[in-house]
Structure 1
Amino acid sequence: MTTHSKPLTVLLTDPMGRALGLSLPPGSLVTDSNDGPWPEPLLWVADEVAAPGTWAKYGPARDAGLQPVLLQDGSGIEEWWDGELDPGMMSDPGDHPAEEVLKDLWESAASETEENEDEADAGETIAPFTGSWPGLAPPGRTAADPVTAAADVAEGLVGHSLKSPRPALVPVRRAADIPAAIGWSGPVNYENDVARLCAVLRSWEDRFGAQVVALSYARLDLSVAAPPETLDEALAVAAEHFAFCPDNIWQGYESIGLYAEEALVGNAHWTFWWD
């Protein structure tokens, strides 16, 4: 995937980003180790762990073409983003229609469910749906500004479910593209080309005001400005979540229906974790 790293190259000679209208704390640039002898920077990462209120300080970076995101060390894996990123293996999210991606992933997840469970149990897992792709959920009704929703979710994550997140800046126009742009491989057990998932993230951004807020070694946190408000709305979204990350249902809930009821209705924070 091609990125626009020019805003980051400014930081080579202007570490605080004053020319970009920023006042950054000490940090470092992370490059693609597979990009030849003079790799371009992929992202900027702060040296210090984020504290409450930190996210709001990075809002002006959007005007400079940089999207903020929190990067969390995970399970003893120190700084997984240093040497573990490979954007060269990613395509462009724009090359993948979101519904085609979700339909393909749905069919794969439903098939694997049937293989690993008997017919009755498999039917209960994907209930109230059958093995056929149910289609895209309708757009939500925006309840908050997406930027404000992202700040609220980030504030709730810092120091709680994310114990040591680092603020980072990525040179992309929309937050949905962050995982592919930096070559994140969190869902590698299910999907090697994360650009396909970013195509879905773009669709969620358009339909639900979703924003990528945090990345861990194999976890993704999104804020949602227009979450589903009723169980019927949540069920339609839950089907997409099952396709996108079946572990959310397989390892956390008995069924898509229960997941919709307990994890999605009115919830402005979506979390995905791949085993």
Structure 2
Amino acid sequence: MTTHAKPLTVLLTDPMGGSLGLSLPPGSLVTETNDGPWPEPLLWVADGVAAPRTWAEYLPARDAGLQPVLLQDESGVEEWWAGELDPGMMSNPGAHHAEEVLKDFWESAASETEESEDDEDAGETIAPFTQSWPGIALPGSTPAGPDTTAAEVAKALVGHSLKSPRLALVPVDRSADLPAAIGWSGPVNHENDVARLCAVLRSWEDRFGVRVVALSYARLDLSVAAPPQTLDEALTVAAEHFAFCPDNIWQGYESIRLYAEEALVGNSHWTFWWD
């Protein structure tokens, strides 16, 4: 994972980012709370609520080394990013292999599922798969432009699923690394080291044109430029989603098959939520 704090330190004396080619609204820098007396800033967050087109408007910030993302405070009371970020807990996404991570997660979630099911229901949740890791899905075909898709997804989220999001800018090379770079702990009940999940996001970025569009306290919203187009394609992707975030199936759908059919086929927006 490559991060560059320098663009953010520029904002200490140039709050609108003019020297970076930006024209930022009022905002503030967020630093890691456990990083010594003079911590490096982790991200910049706008003071005001984002508009539907805000994500797309600030996409050019990437030229200055800053990735845009929307941050949503689910409670509407407390800004979780002001005190819940700990990048020191995270390793480097590049140190992990996506399929190995998914295989590990799959075996754990499949085993837990089997233990919780009655004998007559055994295997139905993960059917047509078994406890053996089924392998990663093939890349999506004929992708749309990832940035165009991300802008459309962000626009659709603002004011609907995201009631009052803030624009944030993070000094990282690729959006897949964004959660680990800021030390996001949303999936803490599933995995402490979010860099392992970011390794999977990197793989999805390469295979499906995924972009990290929004983060909430325990929710992740992705845009998908090349989603699966058939149920057969969606099933193998759904297996990855079950490994990545079992709660998507355990708490939202009866089975991986139903999840694949209703949530994945042709869907350019993937959402994950950890209990």
- After TM superposition, is the score higher than 0.5? yes
Is 1:252 matched with 2:252?
A: yes
Higher mean Cα deviation, 77-86 or 218-227? 77-86
Contact 1:128 1:257 (8 Å CA) reproduced: yes
Tell me, yes or no, if structure 1 residue 224 matches structure 2 residue 224: yes
The 2-side partners of 1:91 and 1:264 are apart by: 30
User: How much does 1:141 deviate?
Assistant: 1.0
Answer yes or no: is the 8 Å Cα contact 1:68–1:169 preserved in 2: yes
* Residues 129-184 of structure 1: per-residue CA shift (max 9 Å, x gap): 01100001000013310011110000000000100100000000000000000000
CA distance, structure 2, for counterparts of residue 76 and residue 118 of structure 1? 40
Instruction: Confirm or deny: 8 A CA contact 2:124 2:255 kept in the other structure.
Output: yes
For the residue of structure 2 that corresponds to 1:81, the secondary structure is helix
- CA–CA separation in structure 2 for the residues paired with 1:9 and 1:70: 21
Any conservation in 2 of the 1:70–1:215 contact (CA below 8 Å)?
yes
Are the equivalent residues in 2 in contact too, given 1:142–1:208 (CA < 8 A)?
no
Worse overlay, 69-78 or 239-248: 69-78
Q: Within the alignment, does 1:233 sit opposite 2:233 as a pair?
A: yes
1:17 and 2:29 correspond: no
| Correspondence 1:179-198 to 2 at 5 A | 179-198=179-198
| Alpha-carbon spacing, 1:11–1:259, altered in 2? closer, same or farther (3 Å) | same
What does residue 130 of structure 1 align with?
130
3-state SS of 1:125 partner: coil
Q: Which residue of 2 aligns with 1:67?
A: 67
Mapped to 1, the partners of 2:122 and 2:194 lie a distance apart of 27
- Give the conservation status (yes or no) of the 8 Å contact 2:146–2:210: yes
Shift of 1:76: 4.4
Distance of 1:7 and 1:108 partners within structure 2 = 40
- In structure 1, how many angstroms separate the alpha carbons of the residues matched to 2:72 and 2:261? 28
TM-score (norm 2): 0.98
Structure 1 runs (4+) greater than 4 angstroms displaced: none
- Aligned-pair distance for 1:54? 1.4
Q: Which moved more, 1:56-65 or 1:255-264?
A: 56-65
* Alpha-carbon offset, residue 63 of structure 1: 0.7
Q: How does 1:37-76 map to 2 (within 5 A)?
A: 37-76=37-76
Query: Which has the larger displacement, 122-131 or 98-107?
Result: 122-131
Name the amino acid aligned to 1:219: R
What residue in structure 1 maps to residue 148 of structure 2? 148
Q: Is the 8 A contact 2:7 2:64 kept in 1?
A: yes
* CA distance in structure 2 between the partners assigned to 1:120 and 1:129 by the alignment: 16
Q: Is the 8 A contact 2:224 2:269 kept in 1?
A: yes
The equivalent residue for 2:6 is 6
CA shift, 1:2, in A, is: 6.3
Aligned-pair CA distance for 1:246? 0.4
Structure 2: state its 5+ residue gaps.
none
Contact 1:142 1:209 in 2 (8 A): no
Higher mean alpha-carbon deviation, 250-259 vs 140-149, is at: 140-149
- Per the TM alignment, residue 27 of structure 1 is displaced from its structure 2 partner at its CA by 0.3
User: Structure 2 CA distance, aligned partners of 1:266 and 1:193?
Assistant: 30
Q: Is 1:117 matched up with 2:117?
A: yes
In structure 2, what residue type is equivalent to 1:241? H
Q: Supply the distance in 2 between the matched residues of 1:53 and 1:149 (Cα, whole angstroms).
A: 12
Matched, 1:165 2:165: yes
Secondary structure of the corresponding residue to residue 124 of structure 1: coil
Distance 2:208 2:142 in 1: 7
Q: Which residue of 1 aligns with 2:79?
A: 79
